[in-house]
Chains A and B, each alone.
Chain A
Amino acid sequence: KAGVTQTPRYLIKTRGQQVTLSCSPISGHRSVSWYQQTPGQGLQFLFEYFSETQRNKGNFPGRFSGRQFSNSRSEMNVSTLELGDSALYLCASSLGGQGVSGNTIYFGEGSWLTVV
C-alpha cells in the first residue's frame, strides 16, 4: 500500500513568488491535513480538508491556502513568498470522519521549501 506522497520534495523560490505543493493521500483516505515545520516553531497545523471541504484552519495568514479534489488529492499554495516561509511542509492523511481518536494519521516525507 503506497504511503502519503508529496511533490516536489525540494524546491527553491524567490521572495514574492508563489508556490504550489501537491499531496496524494493513502488510497481510501479522505482527510488531508497540512503542517509547517520550522526550527523555531516546530510543527504547526495549517489546515485540514475532508471530502473537498476545509474543516479546520490554523493561525496562518491568508497567503496560505489549500484545496482538495474529488479524488482526495490536495494542493496547498503560498503566495507572495517571504523568507520566513522557508520550511518543511508536511502532508498527512487519514480515513477521516472520526477524529484522531478513531483514525491513525499518516505523514508524507514532506516538501522542503527554501525562499531566497
Chain B
Amino acid sequence: DQQVKQNSPSLSVQEGRISILNCDYTNSMFDYFLWYKKYPAEGPTFLISISSIKDKNEDGRFTVFLNKSAKHLSLHIVPSQPGDSAVYFCAASDGGSEKLVFGKGTKLTVNP
C-alpha cells in the first residue's frame, strides 16, 4: 500500500517556465511534508518542507503548496533552470519521528 504517490514519473519543461510537481498521500497521520532532489550517483538533498498547519511555504524559486482536504501537495519551481534537472521525491512524516515515507519520484528535465 503506497502511502505517498507521485503519479508522474517524468516531466519536461522549458527553461524559464514553471515546473509543477505533484504528490498525493493517503495517511491522515502525516503532518509534515518534504521535497528532496536527487542527482544520479548522489544522495537526496533537502529542498523545502511544509507543516500541515500551513498551506504554503516559499524559499526562493521553490514553493510548496499543501491541500489537506485533498491530501495533495505540489512543488512549484519558478523560473525553471537546466540545473534543476533531477529526480524529485516527495516525502511525508508524522513529524514526531525521523521516519520518512517517500514517493517513487518524478524525473524533471529542464530544456535550455
C-alpha spacing A92/B43, complex, angstroms: 9
The residue of chain B having its C-beta at the shortest distance from the C-beta of A93 within the complex is B98
Q: Do the beta carbons of A101 and B95 come within 8 Å of each other? A: yes
Q: Do the beta carbons of A50 and B98 come within 8 Å of each other? A: yes
Which residue from B34, B89, B97 sits with its C-beta under 8 Å from A56? B97
C-alpha spacing A110/B42, complex, angstroms: 7
Q: Do the beta carbons of A106 and B105 come within 8 Å of each other? A: no
C-alpha spacing A96/B99, complex, angstroms: 11
A19 within 8 A of B: no
C-alpha spacing A99/B99, complex, angstroms: 8
Most A-side CB within 10 Å, residue of B36, B49, B99: B99
Interface flags for A15-42 (1: CB within 8 Å of B; 0: not) read 0000000000000000101010000011
Min distance, Cβ B2 to any Cβ of chain A, angstroms: 9
A residues contacting the other copy or chain, number (CB 8 A): 29
| Chain A residues within 8 Å of B97, by CB | 48, 55-56, 99-100
Q: Do the beta carbons of A33 and B44 come within 8 Å of each other? A: no
Which residue from A45, A92, A104, A105 sits with its C-beta under 8 Å from B101? A45
Q: How large is the interface on B (under 10, 10 to 19, 20 to 34, 35 or more residues)?
A: 20 to 34
B93 within 8 A of A: yes
Q: Do the beta carbons of B98 and A96 come within 8 Å of each other? A: yes
A52 within 8 A of B: no
Residues of chain B touching chain A, judged by Cβ–Cβ distance below 8 Å, are: 31-32, 34, 36, 41-46, 49, 51, 89, 91, 93-105
Besides A55-B97, A101-B49, A101-B51, 14 other A-B contacts (C-beta < 8 A): A35-B102, A42-B102, A42-B105, A43-B44, A50-B98, A99-B94, A100-B32, A100-B49, A100-B95, A103-B98, A107-B43, A108-B43, A109-B41, A109-B42
Residues of chain A touching chain B, judged by Cβ–Cβ distance below 8 Å, are: 4, 31, 33, 35, 41-45, 48, 50, 55-56, 58, 90, 92, 94, 96, 99-101, 103-110
